[in-house]
Chains A and B, each alone.
Chain A
Amino acid sequence: KQEVTQIPAALSVPEGENLVLNCSFTDSAIYNLQWFRQDPGKGLTSLLLIQSSQREQTSGRLNASLDKSSGRSTLYIAASQPGDSATYLCAVKSGSNDYKLSFGAGTTVTVRA
Chain B
Amino acid sequence: KAGVTQTPRYLIKTRGQQVTLSCSPISGHRSVSWYQQTPGQGLQFLFEYFSETQRNKGNFPGRFSGRQFSNSRSEMNVSTLELGDSALYLCASSFQGFGLTLGQYFGPGTRLTVL
Contacts and interface: CB of A to CB of B under 8 A. Distances in A.
**B interface, over-half SS:** strand
Interface stretch (B13-21, B40-48, B68-76): B40-48
Contacts of B106: 36, 43-46
Interface stretch (A11-19, A64-72, A77-85, A99-107): A99-107
A46 B105 contact: yes
B101 A32 contact: yes
B22 interface: no
Q: Report, as a range, how many residues of chain B touch the other chain.
A: 20 to 34
Interface in B65-115: 88, 90, 92, 94, 96, 101-109, 111
A103 B48 contact: no
B107 A43 contact: yes
A93 B58 CA distance: 14
By secondary structure, the A interface counts as strand
Interface in B9-66: 31, 33, 35, 42-43, 45, 48, 55-56, 58
B108 A43 contact: yes
Contacts of B107: 43
A31 B101 contact: yes
Chain A residues touching B, range = 20 to 34
B109 A46 contact: no
Interface of B: 6, 31, 33, 35, 42-43, 45, 48, 55-56, 58, 88, 90, 92, 94, 96, 101-109, 111
Interface of A: 31-32, 34, 36, 41-46, 49, 89, 91, 93, 97-103, 105-106
26 contacts: A32-B102, A34-B103, A36-B106, A41-B88, A41-B111, A42-B109, A43-B106, A44-B90, A44-B106, A46-B106, A49-B103, A91-B43, A93-B104, A98-B48, A99-B31, A99-B94, A99-B101, A100-B33, A100-B45, A100-B56, A101-B45, A101-B104, A102-B45, A103-B42, A103-B43, A105-B42
